[in-house]
A and B are shown apart, each in its own frame.
Chain A
């Protein structure tokens, strides 16, 4: 192919899609800004590495929680706006267990179970953390998963199952109702104040030298990395190697056909909620453990980023959700190179909107639940 032909094709592409030209120009400017900053020393390499690490951590949480959202989105055909509050449920449920185990004897059980609502106990004082109280953290993680699975099944039984055959929009509106009921029930029980949960200062931190500075990695970062990698691998094996995985893929492709071939669709739906709910609960717990604070709005604020990740990766694809989560997390963190930090989230949404415009089926397009 000659140069002129390539040139003509490129020109046609940009004439037909003026928006693409704009995006390309903005991308070029951003690359230049970053390169120039790194060469002149305005931006440190170690800062970039720190932000990227932070973005990876965020991305793993988003990806982990996104797997569940992506699965229910493709198998039940609706965008579950209550998913963010499942995350919050997991966070509070798990932290209640961790508080109870870490602080039993130091404070009364009621305050511990309510995660120190009304400033009665402080997670930092109880020494909640992977190094200071490993048992409490592992148990909390487990309880977070179990509690969220129970909640997801309960809500499915009483809310979603009776209207399973309605349109996706009906279910979406219903899920908004679930989201608000759940969120403010959590406020009613656990209170609305944002509080610290971990003894972050007591966890060991490693400072790694990177070109011109240090990147700090603490024990909770490593915990998050290990747990999410293990769970993602587990889901991959489950969906690839078991009959359940095949049934799920069949169902998200064509539910009627799946039912005709004898797949017990209701049981598959139940399994979907169990896997998705469990991962979501653990993701919520890991999120509050990693960032060290807990609040009733945490899950909701994360939800839009998770939607962005799931759409980016292609609805139904769990690898897409993981990859999308990491891209969205990195975007939110690394965008401070170019824009003020309070717009990191806005930048992630902008990436989502661009994907919706240019490749609405997502980067892992069409590959459902595997």
Chain B
């Protein structure tokens, strides 16, 4: 095959979504594996870092997809993403945790429902709260909606943190009687439930992966797989395999989200959403009840965010309110903007690139350096780090301090990347391929592809 023929075929492949997704994912994983090999990770370390990467690629992919429904399709400027995630996972925890008597003595208990039912409950509550927020807020301008949603997500966090909602006593029996005839009698197993205040909740229920696999009757084959892996990793292989398989399950959920949202976007419902994004007044004048469509879109997105929150946090040992700071909303936004608002494929890619380069990348870099070089104990503060430079031009303490502060510097880098993107490429990777509201092909046959011209007419605001 001639080189030019190969190149055109390669670019053809990259222009189609599956090829593009495979190329980006392949590139990311190859880079991680190669870097790990070069710096001499153990097999265990390798598998752990890959599992971790997969986990974050998947959760950010899901969240970016859900946010794309709000911002990319409908033009709703929601910066309260983390609030809906928090509601999802907290409600799930309260429903699924075993009653206090069976758990620890001092711990707040739960209702002891099966995890699957609890997760459905969490998603439904996240959707319901989304409805409550949306009813007043969707009438507002985009920047006001932003302020209301972020204020809401902070209120949610204060609620989780407050002593008032730390714990409640559940009545022994619930009876509903009319005229002396008992219609309904229920004896809840829970005695004390609540959000646990600042200390958070210990998630002492069955591991989510185990729950999923047992439901699918795959638990015994899975244990067999763990045994097989113990050939490679002799000591305690289960946590490693757990992480790996959970990551794969989450990637499956990303595929589900993608399918659902693509179907939604292509449906008549989705076309109205895009029309609202382009010009709400026009959509309204064509007889569409735009506020109703916005409401539905917002609620669906909130439910998806709640579910992503559950998948992110429900497998942790515990949840605490500080995990639900607005930082996470900021992460999701960067992921969406990297990928390009308005494109589902772009959202998945944005989630993957964000997770690999900006979220996990710096931490991975630190691990690599630690694996390669023996690093001395660093200074505890910026002053101690700078002092040797001033005294004897010794940069080592400063470099060590920088490496140790990579968790904070990561956010600085993300902020700078966001600024750079807004300056140079506000449409992200795939935002130029924004799906149009029309169901017919708008491209002129005598001109090139359908993308550039249409995107230029999208009216600025959604960029």
Residues of A whose CB lies within 8 Å of any CB of B are 78-79, 110-111, 113-114, 117-118, 120, 159, 162-163, 166-170, 172-174, 176-185, 187-192, 304, 307-308, 311, 340, 342-343, 345-346, 349, 352-353, 356-357, 360
Per the bound structure, the CA–CA distance linking A166 and B426 in Å amounts to: 10
Residue on A nearest B410 in the bound complex, by CB: A184
Residue on A nearest B411 in the bound complex, by CB: A184
| Contacts beyond the supplied A166-B460, A356-B140: 15 A-B pairs with Cβ under 8 Å | A111-B383, A166-B426, A172-B143, A172-B146, A176-B79, A176-B415, A177-B418, A177-B422, A184-B411, A187-B408, A304-B150, A311-B144, A342-B161, A349-B151, A357-B136
> Which of A177, A179, A184, A340 has its CB near the most chain B CB atoms (within 10 A)?
A177
Known contacts being A79-B146, A111-B383, A176-B330, is A170 close to B154, with CB within 8 Å?
A: no
Q: Which B residues are CB-close (under 8 A) to A343?
A: 158-159, 162, 164
Q: Which A residues are CB-close (under 8 A) to B410?
A: 184
Residue on A nearest B426 in the bound complex, by CB: A170
Residue on A nearest B459 in the bound complex, by CB: A167
Check B173 for interface membership: any CB of A closer than 8 A.
Answer: no
Known contacts being A180-B411, A180-B414, A180-B415, is A349 close to B422, with CB within 8 Å?
A: no
Per the bound structure, the CA–CA distance linking A118 and B384 in Å amounts to: 9
Report whether A184 and B140 are in contact in the complex, using a CB–CB cutoff of 8 Å. no
The 24 listed contacts between A and B (C-beta, < 8 Å) are A79-B143, A118-B380, A167-B460, A170-B422, A176-B333, A176-B415, A177-B414, A177-B417, A177-B422, A184-B410, A187-B408, A188-B405, A191-B381, A304-B154, A308-B147, A342-B164, A343-B158, A345-B154, A345-B155, A352-B147, A353-B136, A353-B137, A357-B136, A360-B144
Per the bound structure, the CA–CA distance linking A147 and B222 in Å amounts to: 60
Residues of B whose CB lies within 8 Å of any CB of A are 77, 79, 136-137, 139-144, 146-148, 150-152, 154-155, 158-159, 161-164, 327, 330, 333, 337, 380-384, 386-387, 405, 408-412, 414-419, 422-423, 426, 460-461, 463
Report whether B461 and A307 are in contact in the complex, using a CB–CB cutoff of 8 Å. no
Q: Residue A163 contacts which of B151, B381, B382, B423 (CB distance < 8 angstroms)? A: B423
Interface of A (DSSP majority class): helix
Report whether B422 and A163 are in contact in the complex, using a CB–CB cutoff of 8 Å. yes
Q: Residue B409 contacts which of A163, A172, A184 (CB distance < 8 angstroms)? A: A184
Report whether A184 and B143 are in contact in the complex, using a CB–CB cutoff of 8 Å. no
**A-B interface pairs (CB < 8 A), number:** 151
Report whether B381 and A120 are in contact in the complex, using a CB–CB cutoff of 8 Å. yes
Known contacts being A79-B146, A172-B143, A304-B150, is A180 close to B162, with CB within 8 Å?
A: no
Per the bound structure, the CA–CA distance linking A304 and B386 in Å amounts to: 35
Q: Which B residues are CB-close (under 8 A) to A184?
A: 408-412, 415
Q: Which A residues are CB-close (under 8 A) to B162?
A: 340, 342-343
Report whether A173 and B333 are in contact in the complex, using a CB–CB cutoff of 8 Å. yes
Q: Which 10 A-B pairs have the closest CB atoms?
A: A181-B415, A177-B418, A118-B381, A180-B415, A184-B411, A349-B151, A342-B162, A110-B383, A177-B419, A174-B422
Report whether B143 and A78 are in contact in the complex, using a CB–CB cutoff of 8 Å. yes
Report whether B418 and A176 are in contact in the complex, using a CB–CB cutoff of 8 Å. yes
Report whether B381 and A188 are in contact in the complex, using a CB–CB cutoff of 8 Å. no
Per the bound structure, the CA–CA distance linking A191 and B383 in Å amounts to: 10
Q: Residue A192 contacts which of B337, B387, B408, B418 (CB distance < 8 angstroms)? A: B408
Q: Which A residues are CB-close (under 8 A) to B164?
A: 340, 342-343
Residue on B nearest A19 in the bound complex, by CB: B136
Residue on A nearest B387 in the bound complex, by CB: A110
Q: Which B residues are CB-close (under 8 A) to A117?
A: 381-383
Q: Residue A345 contacts which of B144, B158, B405, B423 (CB distance < 8 angstroms)? A: B158
Q: Which A residues are CB-close (under 8 A) to B463?
A: 166-167, 169-170
Known contacts being A170-B426, A172-B146, is A189 close to B411, with CB within 8 Å?
A: no
Q: Which A residues are CB-close (under 8 A) to B412?
A: 180-181, 184-185, 188
